Amino acid sequence: MIEYIKGDIVELTPTQMIIECAGIGYGLNISLTTYSAFSGKPTGKIYVYEVIREDAHLLFGFAQKAERELFLLLTSVSGVGPNTARMILSSLPPAELIQVIANKNETALTSVKGIGQKTAQRILVDLKNKVKAGDTIAGAGAPVAGGNGAVAEEAVAEEAVAALVMLGFQKAASQKVVSSILKSSPMLAVEQVIKSALRML
């Protein structure tokens, strides 16, 4: 099992990271929280969880051990796979997710794409004793400065749409939502645009 990878960040998008270590490039699926933590950094140490299936060998990366622990808790719930857990962690930062579970906030969970009422209830029931309201995750929800100018806004829009498409949303709908978000708040960073879009789609 791979515990973590430390190396040069070759490519970073809101849903994926390629990190090079000893001449090998590892492709990792990441959440928006992890993207925010590594944005603008040339190197990093990323905690890893491997998913080995008959048809795929996937790596999921996390900026902190605590986020990985939440991911593992989520995937332990029946009906919640790795991609759904990543979607939850992208929509609700870890600190917010802990509060949602501790407060049994079903509405917040059902606002995440792919989470219906029954799955939300299952998550709350299965994890209520495993997550406490006082639990915190260092660096969760840390603000990231937005870009400036029309070129930066266009780059943010393209990156946000690409991330939403990779998360399973239709391109046309994603473009429309991202465009309306940037029209009202042009200085938002890409991860903030994606989080807003996830609530609207």
User: Does pTM top 0.75 for this prediction?
Assistant: no
* CATH label of the domain that carries residue 194: 1.10.8.10
Instruction: Give me the count of residues in the chain.
Output: 201
Classify 22 in phi/psi space as left (phi over 0), alpha (psi -120 to 50) or beta: left
Is 135 inside any structural domain? no
- 26 and 52 housed in the same domain: yes
- 119 and 158 housed in the same domain: no
The per-residue pLDDT for range 146-169, each reduced to its tens digit, is 334 455 677 788 888 888 888 888
The per-residue pLDDT for range 106-142, each reduced to its tens digit, is 998 988 888 899 999 999 999 988 876 555 544 344 3
Note down the domain range covering 158.
Answer: 149-200
Helix runs in the chain, H state only: 32-38, 65-75, 82-91, 94-102, 106-110, 117-127, 149-166, 171-184, 190-200
